[in-house]
Structure 1
Amino acid sequence: MNFLLQLSRLIDRINEAVGRAAIWLILVVVLISAGNAVSRFAFNMSSNAMLEVQWYLFSAIFLACAAYVLKKNEHIRIDVIAGRFSERAQNWIDVFGILVFLLPMAVLIAYLSWPVFMNAWHSGEVSANAGGLIRWPVRLLLPLGFALLILQAVSELIKRVAFLAGIAPNPLKKAAGPSAEEELAAEIRKHQVAPEVADIVHMNHEMIENPQGEQK
């Protein structure tokens, strides 16, 4: 079990690094989107390549961060029933869900998406849009993203089994700390990159937390 826990920590570090790197893609997408909007409405110019870059980066963010979100235990849960159970029961539910639903689904999608990437790679598939981009990089995102998700599912399974065996803390307890939006805003401010973007991210977080404008 000690070896498995070490493996779990290694997987966690990989997906933590990937997730934190993907956070910066959000800023890149915002800047590209703003540039596309300005060039279209101010100069009556547009680029299919730049539009497709947005889609590629959005896909990269979604797929690369899926495992990161699972690691952070921030994926959507319906806790109306499970929230009433004991910590052990909740972990048993997760073990069942990982083994019966998450892992089979992720393995199947990774398996089926690999030939699609290989076909795009060998054929040199290019977007049908004029001036569009080559397609194999975005095709590769699907098997890579689900491969990371499979690894993280294995890590989460190890952590839950270790907790049930009484040799590790409860992995369902969320660590106290800043939200993902606050982390992104802090990183942008720390590097002094587009502070106005950081303010927008922070403002959006406050609107989500306090949608009616109530005083805290």
Structure 2
Amino acid sequence: MQKLMRRYIGIVDALNYRIGRIVMYGIFVMMAILLWSSVSKTFFSPSLWTLEVAQFAMVAYYMLGGPYSIQMGSNVRMDLLYGEWSDHRKAQIDAMTILFLIVYLVFLLWGGWESLMYSFSYGGERSSSVWRPYLWPIKSIMVLGIFLMLLQAISEFFKDILRLQGHDMGEKI
């Protein structure tokens, strides 16, 4: 079982690490979109698409970068008590609390999938803005991001289980 958990951790962590490193540069895409928005409003006629494309880019940035953030330990944590606990106690608490995250992500994935299927069955759901882009591309990215976050949460759960069993899984921040 430990071998299977380690293999799962290796595959999921490698996948989310690569995706996270690529998506990390999405900030420059957002900056370019918002720069174009400012330039076009100042010197040309305002673009109708810049606000929504910037919002879509931000959603993709956060949803696809979230698993990488969890993997790197960059998530926000209340350190009031946590910082003083032993590594074993931290692993115990993390193993319990990550179960809540996994349940939440399962429901979120289910809702996201239903919304995505609605978008397809509706005949191409569109935004209500003037530009009216299709919504299925961003909903697909959201579902993918939630799925990757679920995989990463399970990976973190397995790491905590292995830590509780006395295996060195590297320092968790």
Gaps spanning 5+ residues in structure 2: where? Answer: none
Q: How much has 1:113 moved relative to structure 2?
A: 1.4
Structure 1 CA distance, aligned partners of 2:104 and 2:142?
Answer: 13
What are the within-5 Å matches in structure 2 for residues 55-204 of structure 1?
Answer: 55-99=55-99, 101-123=100-122, 124-173=124-173
How does the TM-score come out when normalised to structure 2? 0.93
Spell out, residue by residue over 1:149-203, the C-alpha distance to the aligned partner (whole angstroms, 9 max, x if none): 1100111111111111112234414xxxxxxxxxxxxxxxxxxxxxxxxxxxxxx
Structure 2 CA distance, aligned partners of 1:29 and 1:134?
Answer: 19
Q: How much has 1:144 moved relative to structure 2?
A: 1.4
Higher relative contact order (CA 8 A, sep 6+): 2
Structure 2 CA distance, aligned partners of 1:154 and 1:21?
Answer: 22
CA contact (8 A) 1:52 1:132 kept: no
What's the % identity of the aligned pairs? 26
CA contact (8 A) 1:160 1:170 kept: no
The equivalent of 1:11 in structure 2 is 12
Task: Give the 3-state SS of the residue equivalent to 2:25 in structure 1.
Answer: helix
Spell out, residue by residue over 1:19-70, the C-alpha distance to the aligned partner (whole angstroms, 9 max, x if none): 1111121101101110111100222x12222321111110000111111100
Amino acid at match of 2:145: G
Task: Give the 3-state SS of the residue equivalent to 2:9 in structure 1.
Answer: helix
Gaps spanning 5+ residues in structure 1: where? Answer: 174-216
Amino acid at match of 1:167: H
Amino acid at match of 1:14: L
